[in-house]
Amino acid sequence: MKKRSPRTAAVVAGALGALVLALPTGSYARHHHHDDDDWNSNAWQGAQHEQEELDQAQANQQQDWQRLQHERGEMEEARRAGDWGAYQQELQEAREAKRALRNDQGQVEHEQQELGEQQPAYRDYRNEWSGD
């Protein structure tokens, strides 16, 4: 298993922290005692949606990281074999994987920001129904 980079570890830690903040502290049954909490339900759904988008962005990032590592390995094999045509092809594929990884990082940062914007409303919602 490959070790994660410090940046990847920080992203994963941030996501886990966001997930902890998104989890309710009261019971599910207590929430349903409110009949007029459409706005509160929307806060929960908004936070859940943003967490799902963040999870997907991080999965894409991990997949592209693995692809980049694979392409780098193939580049090294082609270089050792002296196959410069294959090396150039793998170099191009590695560049594409790097671009995808940069895009993924931007998407992860965007989703973290979106989740951060949803969390205050959700925290208010959680506090409202946990204080019954």
Task: Give the model confidence (pLDDT) of 66-110 as tens digits.
Answer: 999 999 999 999 999 999 999 999 999 999 999 999 999 999 999
pLDDT at residue 106 in the model: 94
DSSP state of 37: -
How far is residue 116's CA from residue 26's CA, in Å, rounded to a whole number?
21
How far is residue 50's CA from residue 119's CA, in Å, rounded to a whole number?
10
Tokens for 112, please give them: 């973290």
Matching residue, tokens 């570890």? 9
Tokens for 18, please give them: 């966001």
Going from the C-alpha of 108 to that of each of 25, 55, 71, 111, the distances in angstroms are 26, 8, 23, 5
How far is residue 36's CA from residue 55's CA, in Å, rounded to a whole number?
30
How far is residue 87's CA from residue 67's CA, in Å, rounded to a whole number?
16
Using pLDDT thresholds of 50, 70 and 90, give the confidence band for residue 36: very low
